[in-house]
Every structure is written in structure tokens, then in C-alpha cells.
Amino acid sequence: MDDFPLPPELHEIERLLAARERQQPLPEMKQRLLCSVRAELGRSQVRSRWAFAVAVAASVLVWLNLSLCATQATDCGLGLGGPRQPVEDAAKQIHQLVPDLPQREALRQAVLLRGATGVIPSPRLSANYIVVGRSDALKQLLN
């Protein structure tokens, strides 16, 4: 062990400890110890499975977020940023195609069609985005 000298009383204690008979653990203790080790190893495997599942879920969420951002940034060649037909004109066309449909229902359908023309169902947020025609048509529809 160490090379420094011990006092005489510590030499005596060391000699007594070395001469002492060592006891073997009970057979039941061996079984308890093995069961405890197996249980702890099982817990760590379950933790690693959950960690894997969490990592997969996080990567899927990041991928979805990036794909939604990319989709929002482009119109995919559909020309959605161009001039749009007023809701009232669309309602008139719907009413001409289906004369039995009430004017109010045609206006409702036109508002629904206008809302469904975006690439994804989330609003485009910009500081200069003013919706005058839509708000008027929506007020008419609700009144």
C-alpha cells in the first residue's frame, strides 16, 4: 500500500483485522443481489427505449416544422399570390351554376372556397396584409 510509517497502535489494529476470519455471504443474499442487478439493467433498457422514442418524435416534429416552413415560403408554382376574384363574384357564379341554392348559401360556399385556396391551412402573417373584401363578405355572411 502506502510507504509511510504507521504508529504502533495502528499496526496492531491492522494485524487484528488481517487475522480476522472472513464470512461468506448467505446464499439468499446472492440471489437477492442478482435479482436487483437484473431489475436495474431492465430499467436502463426501458429508459434507453424511451429515449429513442423521444428522439424519433423530436426529429419528426423538426422535419414537419421545416416542411411546413418550406411550403409556406413557396406557392409551388400554383400562382396563388396573383389577383383573386372577389367573394361576391364567386358567389354569383356559384348561384348561376346551382340556381336552387339560396344566395346566402352561395356566399357561404364562396367564402369557404376562398379559404381553401391556400397551400396549407395556416394564415400568412405580414404587416401590410389587409383583408377588406374578405371582412365585408364575412360580415354579410354572419348578419
pLDDT single digits (tens) 26-43: 878 888 888 888 888 877
Region 76-85 average pLDDT = 60
Region 115-126 average pLDDT = 55
Rounded-to-integer distance, Cα 12 and Cα 36, Å: 38
Most confident of the following: 6-15, 98-107, 125-134: 98-107
Q: Tell me which of 105 and 135 has the higher pLDDT.
A: 105
Cell 377588406 found at = 132
pLDDT band at 129 (very low <50, low <70, confident <90, very high): very low
Most confident of the following: 56-60, 67-71, 88-92, 112-116: 56-60
Of the CA atoms within 13 Å of residue 11, those in its CB half-sphere come to 5
Are 94 and 106 within 8 A, CB to CB? yes
State the cell numbers at 93. 357564379
> What is the pLDDT at residue 127?
47
Q: What is the DSSP letter of 100?
A: T
> What is the pLDDT at residue 143?
56
pLDDT band at 60 (very low <50, low <70, confident <90, very high): very high
Q: Which of 5-14, 43-52, 106-115, 121-130 has the lowest mean pLDDT?
A: 121-130
Q: Tell me which of 125 and 24 has the higher pLDDT.
A: 24
